[in-house]
Structures are given as C-alpha cells and as structure tokens.
Chains A and B, each alone.
Chain A
Amino acid sequence: MNNNFIAQIQNLNLDFKAKPLFKNLNFNILENKNTALLGSSGVGKSTLLRCIANLERETITSGEITLKENTNIAWLSQENSLYPWLSILDNVQLFYHLKGCKTKKTLQKAKEILDQVNMSKHLDKKTYELSGGQKQRVALARTLMQDSNLILMDEPFSALDAITKIQLQDLTCDLLKDKTVVLVTHDPQEAIKLANHIYILENQPVSIKEVASLEGNLPHQLSNEKLWNLQEELISKLKESNL
C-alpha cells in the first residue's frame, strides 16, 4: 500500500436495486488531508463512505478496501446520532461506555473536550433537550474522544441553520486539523471551505473525478476570487451531472 494513502479502494463492486452502483471503482484517500466527496443526492456518496467504514460489508459484491495499519475510524453522521437514553457525558464517552471501560480519566477527558466544543454549560441537560447544533457539537466531541486518525463525516451539517453551520464548520476545522477527514456533502461551498481535495461522483455506475486540489490552511475563505470561481464551476458540474 502506498504510504501517502490512509485508505485504498480497489475494484469495488456494489449493486443497488439490482443495478451496479459501483463497478470496479478505484479510489484512494490521502493521509492527513481533508477530502470532500461531492455529488447530487442519491448518487452514492454516502454508500462509498459507508464502504470505507465497513458498514456495507453485506452488500459489497467484490473488491478490496485496505486501511493503513493502525487506522482508527470515527463516524460522524447527520443529526440524531446521539443515544437519547444516555447523558451528554456518556454519549461523549460512548465507546468506553459501550465497552464497559469508563474511568475517571475518560470522564475528565470528556469534560475537557465538551469544553472545547463550548458545551460545558449544558452538561446537566438531556440529549433530547439540545438544539440541532448543540447535538452536533456533542457528536463532534464524541468523535474527538475516540482519538481516531480517520474521520468519516456524512453530511454532518446539512440539517443545521446557516449560522450554526458556519460555527460548526470552523470548529471542526480547528479541532480536526491533525486528522484525515473524508466529508460527504452536496454543498460545493462546504466542500471548498473544508477540503484539500474535492471529488465529484456522477453517473451510474459511479465514476469519481478529482475536480480541485486546494492549498492553504483550512477553512478556506470564499472571499478569495479563485475559490469563488471554483464554486461556480462546481455548481455547473453538479448541474450537468444531474441532467
């Protein structure tokens, strides 16, 4: 396996509703970079992410997904991924809670991380009393708690209002800057803001193309004219793929 890659997908085949969704798909994820998978709804972005997370092992017909040695995956999905029967602190310590190995140390770490995501004032609340944005902050804290090196995010901000979305995007960039992030989104602006490499998924079976490779510190600001033009370009490409 190439050392620059944290994950390699080779000859992936997967059928959806008796039609091939992925046919001999090859795709690599660069380590310590943020990758965005962009595409219209239903094209197969989330399925590809689920394949990387080993959540589609029963539907994959053939192919190989190889992860670099010592790769730990953390999964961050859309709203409502918190377990409502657990407290906020237990949700953040979820891995340790479910495995039955919670300690004072993990509790302390959970509190520190909740402080980082500005949720320390809400510790007494039940998860169902939180707003959508607060829930995603807790989910982000849970992701950080795992200390994984590969973070898979499936449209984590899509259900949030504009301001909360911007706040959480900035917070995510700040807290996950040393990790490899794969972000599934249908929002070109979000892809440009949060990713170093942007891929577009189109057609069925899916073909995957790198459409932009961006330098500079994340989050990228769209005040830059070049990035603004890139957004226009991505929008027109998405429109084409939708036709």
Chain B
Amino acid sequence: MKKLFKILLPTIFLLGLWQGLIIIFDLPHYMLPQPKDVFLQLINQYDLLLEHTQTTLLEIILGIILGCFFGLSSAFALLYFKKIEKYLLPILVISQAIPVFAIAPLLVLWFGYGLASKIVMTVIIIYFPITSACYDGLKNTPKQWLDLAHTYKLTPLQTLFKVRFKASLPSLASGLKIAVCIAPIGAVIGEWVGSSKGLGYLMLHANARMQIDLMFSALFILIILTLSIYFLTDYLTKKFIPWASHLH
C-alpha cells in the first residue's frame, strides 16, 4: 500500500502540474495536449501503438543482450590481456566521446533502415557502462577471495568464471541498471534517423502531422517501457545477487 502510494503521489503531482501549465499559460493543443487527450489516444490508437512498441522493445532487448555480450567479452579481455589494456581503454573512452547522434546517419547508411542499425546504436550506447562496470568488478575482486582460489590451485579460467565473475556481479548490476535506462535512447535515435517502424518513427510521423497527442502517447509508452525494464532489472539483480547489498 505504501509502495503504491509512493508511485501514485508523484504521478498525480506531475499530471496536475501538466494540466496546471495548460490552464495557466493557456497553451494550445498543438503545443501541449491535455493529459485526457493523450489518455484517449492510448485507448483509441491501441493497435497502432502496440505494433510500434513491439518493434522498439525488440530493438532495445536485442541491443541490451548484444551490448552485454560485447561489454562482458571486452571486460574479460581487458583483465586477462594486460598488454591490450593500454590500447583498448583509450579507444573505449574515445567511443564515448563521439555523440551517438552524430554517427546515427552513418550507422543507418551502413546497416540499413531495418532493425540492425537501431540495435547497433543501442549496443554502442550501453557498451561502455557494461564494460566499465564489469571490468571494475573483475579487477576489484577482494584479495582474500583470490588468495583462496590460488591456494586451491584453480586455473586462470576457473578463477575468472568461478570467482572473479561472481565477485563482479554487484558492480555489473549497477552498470546494467544504467545501461537499461539509456538503451531506449539508442533505439529511438536510430528510428528518428531512418526507419518505417517503432515508437521513435511514430513520434516523428505524428509530429509532422500535428498529432501532438499521439506523439505524447508514444512518449508516454516509451517512459513506461524504460521504467518497466529498469524495475525488472532491479528486481532480478536483487533476486539473483541478494548478497550485493551486504558486501560492505
């Protein structure tokens, strides 16, 4: 009940603020639609919104899976091939310095208008937080846990997967929670630059036709989607890494 209240209260406050702004500043419909109009669009355009939501959700999920795969692989490589660390680490940082908005048109050119370019963009956006969080966790495995592995004469590979990787899970979980929040940005930017499906595409399309209430309903779904993925990730990490909060 308390939890529900915690969610309901800010929602009611935001809706009130939204409606209040429209009344106070006498904003026209094409600038800021009323919450009830957006809600009506959610009901009336249910099929259309569902179709585009499925596309965006697929891009986000595939992007997260692939981003995790590449991020974890890079973190393992950084840890075990010390010589490449000094070359790979600056590249990683540089990759984050290039805004994904700037390379989005190129990615659409290279990977086409379909799912691939959006997935690549999502992967690029979440690759760094995953790699960095996992690498930090692997590197900072408590010495006493590694000492035990050494005295048991574990091979480097056994130490990596049975000790270091497990020890890195709390750090990886933090990185993953950041990654799932920013993953939709990659997918939506990709859809803005070039696509024929997805919530980003629908928002552009609706904006061009002055269907601002539809645009807001797509935005609303995107927010709900991001929040759902975040809370699911948070729930799963707490369920599968319950010891993380007891480490220090």
A interface residues (Cβ-Cβ under 8 A, vs B): 50, 53-55, 73-75, 77-78, 80-81, 83-85, 94-95, 98-99, 126-129
Contacts and interface: CB of A to CB of B under 8 A. Distances in A.
B142 A98 contact: no
B206 interface: no
19 contacts: A50-B147, A53-B147, A53-B151, A73-B151, A77-B147, A78-B144, A81-B147, A83-B163, A83-B166, A84-B246, A94-B152, A98-B152, A98-B154, A98-B162, A98-B163, A99-B154, A126-B242, A127-B243, A128-B246
Give the dominant DSSP class at A's interface: mixed
B160 to A, nearest CB: 12
A55 B151 contact: yes
B247 A84 contact: yes
A49 to B, nearest CB: 10
Contacts of A55: 147, 150-151
Interface in B231-248: 241-243, 246-247
A81 B243 contact: no
A54 B243 contact: no
Range, interface on chain B: 20 to 34
Interface string B151-183: 110100010001100100100000000000000
A129 B154 CA distance: 28
Contacts of A74: 151
Contact of A75 (B148, B154, B243): B148
Given A78-B144, A80-B142, A98-B162, A85 B243 contact: yes
The 9 closest A-B pairs by CB, nearest first: A128-B246, A84-B243, A75-B151, A81-B144, A77-B144, A85-B166, A128-B243, A95-B152, A98-B162
Nearest to A77: B144
A83 B144 CA distance: 10
Nearest to A50: B147
Contacts of B166: 83, 85
A83 B242 CA distance: 13
B145 interface: yes
B116 interface: no
Contacts of A85: 166, 169, 241, 243
Interface in B76-108: none
A75 B152 CA distance: 9
Contacts of A81: 144-145, 147-148
B149 interface: yes
Interface in B99-154: 142, 144-145, 147-152, 154
Contacts of A129: 246
Interface string B174-195: 0000000000000000000000
A142 B150 CA distance: 15
